[in-house]
Amino acid sequence: MRKRILSGMRPSGKLHLGHYLGVLVNWKKLQEENDAFYFVADWHALTTEYERTDVIGESIDDMVIDWLAAGIDPGKATLFIQSHVPQHAELHLMLSMITPLPWLERNPTYKEQLREQTTRDLSTYGFLGYPVLQAADILMYDAALVPVGIDQVPHLELSREIARRFNFLYKEVFAIPQAYLTETPKIMGTDTRKMSKSYGNAILLSDTPAEVWAKVRPMVTDPARERRTDPGNPEICNVFDYHKIFSDEETVKKVDAGCRTAGIGCIECKKWMYENMEKVLSPVREKRKEIVGSGVSVRGILAEGTARACGIAKEKMREVRDAVRI
């Protein structure tokens, strides 16, 4: 049975391996036998980037090219821009009426961002409502599955609660969505912090092989392994975590034993890992070349998808207004 799939990404420019393994792999898989909608969450970007909005527009093309390079197919999935479907704003408003403040104030992501984002003032009405806007995005399309990264699970939980509350107060209008996660464990940045372009610890889908190796080669390993002859502990080595993601079982075993006995060197170990990582990256790189060479219009693809999304959103809003009797 075909299911409705919906997911969005904030336009933050070029994407990295974390986006690919955590989200895009599932976007690609789910587009095959379902009705998938993937969108550029530019209003969500605005909640944090309201002071430098030029980066939002500039990032859209880079990000969508990465989607296509990762195998997202506009012939299968509907790709659109959130702010070009104004019904999302109307539904956000309606949902904001029934969302209790404490649900938003106790959201762990909200509290963490308020604490960590010291360079911008996030004590705004819009930022507090971030998950309500996300609920509007999801509920508008009656999405059954929402392929996201694990960090988005609390937001999904809120979407479910808001949907249940609306259905209870008015009428069964919304399907209850479910988060859909990848099996790959979360990949950390090359410096073991969260992978993020702003930290400079991210391996980008658009990096050349030389750029990838330049990021892998200096990765910190077991700090106790100062000399080639010192045995190491793979359990505390980020390179080993990467092996578990990119290498086959046999290689992982070989690395584990070789590290503990000082049978292999760290550079050799990184080289193997890099080669296996390249097996994931090089097809994406090839596809990008093909896409850029074909002169495809990203904005054209998004315009086509936006028209399709608008059709569904208009219908849904009619149902919502009926249910609320407004």
Name the site residues for ligand TRP (rule: CB under 6 A).
6-10, 41, 44, 134, 137-138, 146, 148, 152, 155
Q: How far is the CB of 107 from ligand TRP (least distance, A)?
A: 12
* Rounded CA separation 255/113 (Å): 38
The answer to whether 69 and 284 have CB atoms below 8 angstroms apart is yes
The answer to whether 37 and 309 have CB atoms below 8 angstroms apart is yes
Which one of 80, 240, 246, 274 is in contact with ligand SF4 (CB under 6 A)?
Answer: 240
239 near ligand SF4, rule: CB under 6 A: yes
For the CA atoms of 281, 287, 290, 291, the dihedral, rounded to the nearest 10 degrees, stands at -110
User: Read out DSSP for 240-304?
Assistant: HHHHHHHS-HHHHHHHHHHHHTT-S-HHHHHHHHHHHHHHHHHHHHHHHHHHHHTT--HHHHHHH
- For residue 94, the one-letter residue type is M
- Residue 266 interacts with which of ligand TRP, ligand SF4, none, CB < 5 to 8 Å by class: ligand SF4
- Residue 152 interacts with which of ligand TRP, ligand SF4, none, CB < 5 to 8 Å by class: ligand TRP
Q: How far is the CB of 306 from ligand TRP (least distance, A)?
A: 15
- Residue 232 interacts with which of ligand SF4, ligand TRP, none, CB < 5 to 8 Å by class: ligand SF4
Per DSSP, 199 falls in state G
**C-alpha distances out from residue 149 to 7, 21, 143, 194, 257, Å:** 10, 9, 16, 13, 32
Q: How far is the CB of 221 from ligand SF4 (least distance, A)?
A: 4
Cβ-based nearer residue to ligand SF4, 13 or 189: 189
- Residue 134 interacts with which of ligand SF4, ligand TRP, none, CB < 5 to 8 Å by class: ligand TRP
- Residue 234 interacts with which of ligand SF4, ligand TRP, none, CB < 5 to 8 Å by class: ligand SF4
* Rounded CA separation 39/47 (Å): 16
- Residue 13 interacts with which of ligand TRP, ligand SF4, none, CB < 5 to 8 Å by class: none
Q: Which residues contact 184 (CB under 8 A, 6 or more apart)?
A: 21, 22, 25, 245
259 near ligand SF4, rule: CB under 6 A: yes
148 near ligand SF4, rule: CB under 6 A: no
9 near ligand SF4, rule: CB under 6 A: no
**Interface with ligand SF4 (CB under 6 A):** 221-222, 225, 232, 234, 237, 239-240, 255, 259, 264, 266, 269-270
